[in-house]
A = this chain, B = another copy of it.
Amino acid sequence: MTTIEQTLAAKREQHLKELSDWLSIPSVSALSEHKEDMTRTAQWTADQLTTIGLENVEIMPTKGHPVVYGEYLQHDDKPTVLIYGHYDVQPVDPIELWDTPPFEPDIRDNKIYARGATDDKGQTFMHIKALETLKAVHGELPINVKVMIEGEEEIGSPNLDAFVEQYKEKLKADVLVISDTTMIEKGKPTVCYGLRGLAGLQVDLKGAKGDLHSGLYGGGVQNPLHALASLLSSMHDEKGRVTVEGFYDNVIPLMDEEKAAYDALNYDESALIEELKVPELFGEEGYSFLERTWVRPTLEINGMFGGFQGEGIKTVLPAEASAKISCRLVPGQDPDDIVERLDAHIEKHMPKGVTFTTTPFDKGKPFVTPYDHPAIQRAGEALEEVYGEKTAYTRMGGSLPIAETFSEILDLPIVLMGFGLPSENFHAPNEHFHLENFDQGLRAICNYYEKLSKTGLS
């Protein structure tokens, strides 16, 4: 019997040829001039799912770009894996910074360069080819799968909530697998099992009816910039802790074994200082950089503005001042509750002499799959066996609204099995994907689905 490895080796050329074809279609979801390309890409994707032997393959319309769906449901006694990916890509500007054209895939130095190479066509393609390979080797898929590949991830998945809600039954599964994240570092296989949520608001302060001359009114009327600085500085103490009342109340503390796992990663903080060119790292006292960005909630000012911003000085006492504030939330915290607490803090700490309004931004709940869940542990083992390196079990500081959607509506564990590298320029010129991760990732995905077939999810 031919092995997975032999099959993958024999088909490597063809896989890369097919991936290049897919990458050649400029599926930029954000730009209306690519509407035709989006349709072509969806069709190409559907054809692939049919070719590899999935059933009931459909291009399912949404209010925006369609979702491509296919399934294989031949086993009563095997888990059903929902695989999510996206066929749309980021715009390519500034185009002049690309060394080779973004939609003419180029392989050099064992990397494939193209828009979408790592985010997310390259990674989605690996699941498609893993399924094809498993079928070729075993004569059938060892598990049940449902594959959905959307076309609006890069514009914030505006229609995904409604889609998942509408097809709740159709999408029902035992586990969701997504490869749209990065490995913690080159050569270190990574399973991510948690993401932070998001909540925030804009606060707009108003002083006098218009800008005033700081000579005539300065010192006699509250300056909205002073009030804003005072308000914002009241939100952290000097140890980097958020001082909004009750902010940390519902935070689920990190388990000792998780903390130990993070410590064991030996994350190099001094390399990060060097890379970012900061004088030092700074954050909530008592936590490492990884803890601060993975499992601790934050409050960040994303923008702050008022008064004169041009060159030199204009002695104005401005009428208005504003700040945009967002919080990254961790399991236990509720976005609505946090916005309420922010509002209460602002109400309480707003200096005299100004009026204000607040406007909440879109929210996202934090998400975590228990670290000892079999879907997580089997994924880690599958990676470890292929890479020959201990798997890093991580959380990530960013938010993934799609994870929130699936978790809320379908109520299932989520495995984020990323093969990208942070250095691969996703969302930037010269996006690329390391082919050693393409090769090893394909083997690891096959290994994972074989494992799930054997052990199930209990």
Enumerate chain A interface residues (CB-CB to B < 8 A).
Answer: 30, 90-91, 93, 97, 155-156, 182, 196, 198, 200, 202, 207-223, 225-226, 228-230, 232-234, 236, 238, 240, 276-284, 289, 292-293, 296-298, 300-310, 312-318, 321-324, 326, 328, 351-355, 361-362, 396-399, 422, 425-429
Say which residue of B90, B91, B219 sits within 8 Å of A293 (CB atoms).
B219
Shortest A154–chain B CB gap in Å is 9
Query: Is there an interface contact between A213 and B30, defined as CB atoms closer than 8 Å?
Result: no
Partner of A280, one of B280, B282, B323, B353: B353
Q: In whole angstroms, how far apart are the Cα atoms of A276 and B218 in the complex?
A: 13
A306 → chain B, closest Cβ, in Å? Answer: 6
Which B residues are CB-close (under 8 A) to A213? Answer: 398, 426-428
Q: Is the CB of B301 within 8 A of A226?
A: yes
Number of copies: 2
With both chains docked as a complex, state the minimum distance between the C-beta of A152 and any C-beta of chain B, in angstroms. Answer: 12
Q: Given the known inter-chain contacts A213-B426, A353-B281, A354-B279, please indicate yes or no for A315 contacting B326, CB distance below 8 A.
A: yes
A219 touches B303 (CB 8 A): no
Closest to A321 in B: B304
Partner of A303 from B232, B233, B306, B427 at Cβ < 8 Å? B306
Give the shortest distance, in Å, between A292 (CB) and chain B (any CB).
4
B226 touches A232 (CB 8 A): yes
Q: Which residue of B has the minimal Cβ distance to A295?
A: B219
> Given A276-B209, A427-B314, are A304 and B219 also a contact pair (CB < 8 Å)?
no
24 A-B contacts (beta carbon < 8 Å): A30-B312, A90-B314, A156-B313, A198-B315, A207-B278, A208-B276, A209-B277, A215-B328, A215-B399, A217-B293, A219-B240, A219-B284, A219-B300, A219-B397, A221-B281, A222-B280, A222-B281, A223-B300, A226-B300, A232-B233, A233-B233, A303-B306, A304-B304, A313-B361
Complex Cα gap A362–B315 (Å)? 12
B429 A210 Cβ-Cβ under 8 A: yes
Ranked 3 nearest A-B pairs via Cβ = A215-B398, A219-B298, A282-B353
Whether B220 contacts A292 by the Cβ 8 Å rule is yes
* Cβ distance A201 to chain B, nearest Cβ, rounded Å: 9
A314 to B318, Cβ gap below 8 A? Answer: no
Q: Are B353 and A216 touching (Cβ within 8 A)? A: no
On chain B, the residues within 8 Å of A208 by CB distance are: 276-278
Do A283 and B220 have beta carbons less than 8 Å apart?
A: yes
Are B324 and A308 interface neighbours, CB within 8 A?
yes
Residues of B within 8 A of A316 (CB): 302-303, 427-428
Chain B residue with Cβ nearest A284: B219
Which residues on the B side are within 8 Å of A277 (C-beta)? 208-209
A211: B residues at CB distance < 8 A: 427-428
Q: Which residues of B contact A93 (CB under 8 A)?
A: 310
Instruction: Determine how close the nearest CB of chain B comes to the CB of A356; give it in whole angstroms.
Output: 10
Of A90, A216, A292, A397, which is in contact with the most chain B CB atoms at under 10 Å from its CB? A216
Is A215 touching B200 in the complex (CB atoms < 8 A)?
A: no
A307 contacts B306, CB within 8 Å? no
Partner pick for A302 among B232, B308, B397, CB 8 A cutoff = B308
Complex-state Cα separation, A14 to B356, whole angstroms: 47
- For residue A233, give the distance in angstroms from its CB to the closest CB of chain B: 4
Q: Which of B217, B282, B351, B354 contacts A397 (CB 8 A)?
A: B217
